Amino acid sequence: MLGTADNELLTQTDPGTPMGTYFRRYWLPALLSSELPTPDGPPVRVELLGERLVAFRETSGKVGLLEARCPHRHASLFWGRNEECGLRCVYHGWKFAIDGECLDQPAESENSRFKARVRAVAYDVHEAAGIVWAYMGPKDKRPPFPRFEFSLLPNEYSMATKRLQECNYLQNLEGELDSAHAEILHRVFSTPGESVLPPPDLARPTFEIELTAFGMLVVALRKMQGLNYWRMTPFLMPVYTVIPSEIGATKIFTAAVPRNDTQMWGYTISWNPSRPLDEKDVFAVTVGSISHVNVEDGSFRPVANASNDYLIDRELQARSSFTGIPGIRYQDLAVQEDQDGPLLQRDQENLGATDMAIVAVRNLLLEGARKLEKGIEPVHAFNSDEYSVRSVVAKDVPVGVPWSEIWSRGQPEKEVQLATGNQ
């Protein structure tokens, strides 16, 4: 059980809050690159960590991310004209470069130096793997961009999608780290006479938590026919996970990014370290299977959502699906968005033995935010090389083989070097 004050600290990320300040020390996804398809195209609204922003791709192809309100009279730059290497406010014509420099003030005197004293709030961006990432903290504290494995590969090796999720970021993040729910919430029982619940050995994992240079590793152990079944989930500070997958399979990365305190942006990246994504991989992304979902154009709201009860099929639930809701991510959405509504009251929970990872991620985030309040900068943000990490699923492992040996086998080494030509 988490106290009310700690729950508020964890879940509030607006400007000036401890967790909001902490998150602003990291690189976070801001929007998909595909939302800005062409130079000098229309600007796009972005809401991130409770801030209203505007993104635009200027004439050279570089992306700018500015505070939405023009510094002059606070008209929204969303209505602006994206032209000739800058975004021009339509109210009085003030024009701003991607770094916030004021380039023009048409109504001011030709000899005025006023524009040199005015800047729009501008955030640093980095494009990688089909996503525009943003750093929203102090310029002198900016860390290097994390060396995610997918960010080192050619574009055709990965695909990214985005969804709007109607709950606080932490409800989704905790779900990503909750290996105990996987065999229950997502269960399919298609064999006649098969139990609705999974076998006890699958339903009752034991956990180990390993603190790491990137955050922590959640190790879940189940037994299957006398052999070990390991699922290892990396949590990369502050909001990233890699979904467990078998060695050699296509990988899946997730991000739970606060839009505000009651909504989040969920990003999912599928990537293969050794080859371009094939038709099967692309199909899985485009039809919204595994951790991707189909979304409504423009809003990024999932097609299955609270307004249609996530397309639940009660007959399917009785016959073969534990939830009756189609698709793994939609099943997650249903339970996460409906945990006390968009903001979970953690002071009223009753946590069990399988909630070890939930407790650990809360403590890790609370510790980071509190240290930053004391002037101690987040060390994980500067461990950029450590973010090139995979997850692991390993079945049929002899009992004597330690999980650490299996973990080390699954990590990136030569595959990224071969794909990029960097030997």
Convert the pLDDT of each residue in 277-335 to its tens digit.
999 999 999 888 889 999 999 999 999 999 999 999 999 999 999 999 999 999 999 99
What are the beta bridge partners of residue 55? 44, 65
3-state secondary structure of 103: strand
Q: Is the peptide bond before 238 cis (omega within 30 degrees of 0)?
A: yes
Q: Which of 46, 86, 37 lies closest to 67 in space, CA to CA?
A: 46
The percent of residues in the chain predicted with pLDDT above 90, rounded, is: 90
What mean pLDDT, rounded, does the chain reach?
94
pLDDT above 60 for 68: yes
Report the distance separating Cα 136 and Cα 82, nearest Å. Answer: 22
Express each pLDDT in 405-423 by its tens digit. Answer: 999 999 996 444 434 444 3
Q: What is the pLDDT of residue 413?
A: 65
Express each pLDDT in 168-223 by its tens digit. Answer: 999 999 999 999 999 999 999 987 778 899 988 889 999 999 999 999 999 999 99
Mean pLDDT, residues 150-164 taken together: 97
The secondary structure of 36-47 as a DSSP string is S-STT---EEEE
Which residues touch 207 (CB under 8 Å, ≥6 apart)? 179, 218, 219, 220, 221, 354, 356, 357
> For residue 173, what are its two tokens?
């993040």
Q: Which of 179, 178, 222 lies closest to 199 in space, CA to CA?
A: 222
Q: What is the pLDDT of residue 202?
A: 87
Mean pLDDT, residues 262-269 taken together: 98
Report the distance separating Cα 287 and Cα 405, nearest Å. Answer: 36
Report the distance separating Cα 215 and Cα 365, nearest Å. Answer: 10
Express each pLDDT in 336-346 by its tens digit. Answer: 999 999 999 99
Report the distance separating Cα 254 and Cα 242, nearest Å. Answer: 6
Asked if residues 376 and 37 have their Cβ atoms less than 8 Å apart, the reply is no
Q: What is the pLDDT of residue 21?
A: 98
Report the distance separating Cα 255 and Cα 176, nearest Å. Answer: 9
Express each pLDDT in 367-420 by its tens digit. Answer: 999 999 999 999 999 999 999 999 999 999 999 999 999 999 999 964 444 344
The secondary structure of 309-321 as a DSSP string is GGG--HHHHHHTB
Q: What is the pLDDT of residue 420?
A: 40
Residue 365 has, within 13 A of its CA and on its CB side, a CA count of 30
The percent of residues in the chain predicted with pLDDT above 70, rounded, is: 97
Q: What is the pLDDT of residue 98?
A: 98
Q: What is the pLDDT of residue 408?
A: 92
Radius of gyration (Cα) for the chain, nearest Å? 23
3-state secondary structure of 406: helix
pLDDT above 50 for 52: yes
Q: What is the pLDDT of residue 192?
A: 75
pLDDT above 50 for 33: yes
Mean pLDDT, residues 60-87 taken together: 98
Which residues touch 319 (CB under 8 Å, ≥6 apart)? none
List of domains in the chain: 27-141 (2.102.10.10), 149-420 (3.90.380.10)
Asked if residues 30 and 134 have their Cβ atoms less than 8 Å apart, the reply is yes
Q: What is the pLDDT of residue 110?
A: 87
Alpha helix positions (H), 346-410: 356-373, 403-409
Q: What is the pLDDT of residue 290?
A: 82
Asked if residues 310 and 325 have their Cβ atoms less than 8 Å apart, the reply is yes
